[in-house]
Structure 1
Amino acid sequence: MSALFNFQSLLTVILLLICTCAYLRGMAPRIMDKYKTGMLSLFWKCARIGERLSPWVSLSCIAMALCVLIS
Protein backbone atom coordinates (compact mmCIF):
# COMPACT_ATOMS: atom_id res chain seq x y z
CA MET A 1 0.00 0.00 0.00
CA SER A 2 1.25 3.47 -0.84
CA ALA A 3 2.10 6.02 1.85
CA LEU A 4 -0.54 8.31 0.34
CA PHE A 5 -3.37 5.92 1.16
CA ASN A 6 -2.23 4.79 4.60
CA PHE A 7 -2.64 7.61 7.14
CA GLN A 8 -0.01 6.33 9.57
CA SER A 9 2.56 6.00 6.78
CA LEU A 10 1.71 9.48 5.50
CA LEU A 11 2.27 10.96 8.96
CA THR A 12 5.57 9.11 9.24
CA VAL A 13 6.76 10.44 5.90
CA ILE A 14 5.76 14.01 6.82
CA LEU A 15 7.52 13.81 10.19
CA LEU A 16 10.66 12.40 8.58
CA LEU A 17 10.59 15.18 5.97
CA ILE A 18 10.28 17.86 8.66
CA CYS A 19 13.06 16.39 10.78
CA THR A 20 15.38 15.88 7.79
CA CYS A 21 14.85 19.41 6.47
CA ALA A 22 15.45 20.96 9.90
CA TYR A 23 18.65 18.92 10.28
CA LEU A 24 19.94 19.83 6.82
CA ARG A 25 19.12 23.51 7.38
CA GLY A 26 21.17 23.43 10.58
CA MET A 27 24.12 21.77 8.86
CA ALA A 28 24.10 23.66 5.56
CA PRO A 29 21.83 26.73 5.69
CA ARG A 30 22.71 27.83 2.15
CA ILE A 31 20.91 24.81 0.68
CA MET A 32 17.51 26.01 1.84
CA ASP A 33 16.80 29.68 1.34
CA LYS A 34 13.42 31.34 1.86
CA TYR A 35 13.73 33.09 -1.50
CA LYS A 36 13.89 29.85 -3.49
CA THR A 37 10.90 28.71 -5.49
CA GLY A 38 9.41 25.33 -6.21
CA MET A 39 10.37 22.22 -4.27
CA LEU A 40 13.20 23.94 -2.38
CA SER A 41 10.63 26.38 -1.00
CA LEU A 42 8.66 23.43 0.38
CA PHE A 43 11.80 22.08 2.03
CA TRP A 44 12.48 25.49 3.58
CA LYS A 45 8.94 25.60 4.99
CA CYS A 46 9.38 22.13 6.48
CA ALA A 47 12.66 23.25 8.04
CA ARG A 48 10.92 26.27 9.57
CA ILE A 49 8.24 24.04 11.08
CA GLY A 50 10.95 21.79 12.50
CA GLU A 51 12.85 24.74 13.99
CA ARG A 52 9.92 26.61 15.51
CA LEU A 53 7.86 23.66 16.72
CA SER A 54 10.75 21.40 17.71
CA PRO A 55 9.26 20.22 21.06
CA TRP A 56 6.00 19.26 19.37
CA VAL A 57 7.74 17.65 16.43
CA SER A 58 9.98 15.61 18.73
CA LEU A 59 6.99 14.47 20.80
CA SER A 60 5.21 13.52 17.59
CA CYS A 61 8.27 11.53 16.46
CA ILE A 62 8.36 9.68 19.78
CA ALA A 63 4.64 8.94 19.60
CA MET A 64 4.94 7.75 16.01
CA ALA A 65 7.91 5.53 16.90
CA LEU A 66 5.90 3.95 19.71
CA CYS A 67 2.96 3.35 17.39
CA VAL A 68 5.21 1.73 14.80
CA LEU A 69 6.89 -0.47 17.42
CA ILE A 70 3.59 -1.58 18.96
CA SER A 71 1.80 -2.37 15.70
Structure 2
Amino acid sequence: MSALFNFQSALMVLLLLICTSAYCHQLFPAFMDRKKGSPMWGILWKCARIGERLSLYISVCCVIFAVRLFIGA
Protein backbone atom coordinates (compact mmCIF):
# COMPACT_ATOMS: atom_id res chain seq x y z
CA MET A 1 0.00 0.00 0.00
CA SER A 2 1.36 3.44 -0.86
CA ALA A 3 2.05 6.11 1.73
CA LEU A 4 -0.80 8.22 0.39
CA PHE A 5 -3.45 5.74 1.49
CA ASN A 6 -1.88 4.58 4.76
CA PHE A 7 -2.15 7.23 7.49
CA GLN A 8 0.77 5.91 9.53
CA SER A 9 3.04 5.86 6.48
CA ALA A 10 1.96 9.37 5.50
CA LEU A 11 2.84 10.62 8.99
CA MET A 12 6.19 8.86 8.78
CA VAL A 13 6.95 10.53 5.42
CA LEU A 14 5.94 13.92 6.84
CA LEU A 15 8.16 13.46 9.92
CA LEU A 16 11.10 12.39 7.77
CA LEU A 17 10.58 15.40 5.50
CA ILE A 18 10.53 17.76 8.48
CA CYS A 19 13.62 16.20 10.07
CA THR A 20 15.58 16.12 6.81
CA SER A 21 14.66 19.71 5.96
CA ALA A 22 15.69 20.94 9.40
CA TYR A 23 19.00 19.10 9.13
CA CYS A 24 19.73 20.47 5.65
CA HIS A 25 18.80 23.98 6.78
CA GLN A 26 21.29 23.64 9.61
CA LEU A 27 24.02 22.66 7.13
CA PHE A 28 23.16 25.17 4.37
CA PRO A 29 21.16 28.04 5.92
CA ALA A 30 22.00 30.68 3.32
CA PHE A 31 21.06 28.43 0.40
CA MET A 32 17.63 27.51 1.78
CA ASP A 33 16.85 31.06 2.93
CA ARG A 34 17.74 32.43 -0.50
CA LYS A 35 15.49 29.91 -2.30
CA LYS A 36 12.43 30.12 -0.01
CA GLY A 37 10.37 31.97 -2.64
CA SER A 38 10.20 29.09 -5.11
CA PRO A 39 7.44 26.48 -4.67
CA MET A 40 9.54 23.38 -3.95
CA TRP A 41 12.20 25.10 -1.83
CA GLY A 42 9.49 27.08 -0.07
CA ILE A 43 7.86 23.88 1.18
CA LEU A 44 11.20 22.54 2.34
CA TRP A 45 11.96 25.87 4.06
CA LYS A 46 8.62 25.76 5.88
CA CYS A 47 9.26 22.16 6.96
CA ALA A 48 12.67 23.26 8.25
CA ARG A 49 11.04 26.03 10.30
CA ILE A 50 8.58 23.56 11.78
CA GLY A 51 11.43 21.22 12.64
CA GLU A 52 13.44 23.98 14.28
CA ARG A 53 10.63 25.52 16.30
CA LEU A 54 8.84 22.34 17.33
CA SER A 55 11.92 20.16 17.67
CA LEU A 56 10.86 18.68 21.02
CA TYR A 57 7.49 17.52 19.68
CA ILE A 58 8.98 16.28 16.42
CA SER A 59 11.62 14.25 18.27
CA VAL A 60 8.98 12.75 20.58
CA CYS A 61 6.93 11.74 17.54
CA CYS A 62 10.02 10.17 15.95
CA VAL A 63 10.70 8.17 19.13
CA ILE A 64 7.07 7.00 19.25
CA PHE A 65 7.25 5.85 15.63
CA ALA A 66 10.56 4.09 16.29
CA VAL A 67 9.12 2.24 19.28
CA ARG A 68 6.03 1.25 17.30
CA LEU A 69 8.24 0.01 14.47
CA PHE A 70 10.45 -1.92 16.88
CA ILE A 71 7.48 -3.56 18.59
CA GLY A 72 5.88 -4.31 15.24
CA ALA A 73 2.46 -2.83 15.93
- 2:67 alignment counterpart: 66
Query: In the alignment, is the contact (CA less than 8 A) between 2:36 and 2:45 conserved in 1?
Result: no
- The answer for unaligned runs of 5 or more in structure 1 is none
CA shift for structure 1 position 35: 3.9
Query: In the alignment, is the contact (CA less than 8 A) between 2:21 and 2:47 conserved in 1?
Result: yes
After the TM superposition, list the runs of 4 or more consecutive aligned residues in structure 1 that deviate by more than 6 angstroms.
none
- 2:56 alignment counterpart: 55
- 2:26 alignment counterpart: 26
Classify the secondary structure of the residue corresponding to 1:2. Answer: coil
Larger helix share, 1 or 2 = 2
> Percent identity of the aligned residues?
55
Corresponding residue pairs, total: 71
Letter in 1 for 2:60: L
CA shift for structure 1 position 14: 0.4
CA distance in 1, matches of 2:65, 2:15: 9
Structure 1 length-normalised TM: 0.92
Structure 2 length-normalised TM: 0.90
CA shift for structure 1 position 36: 1.9
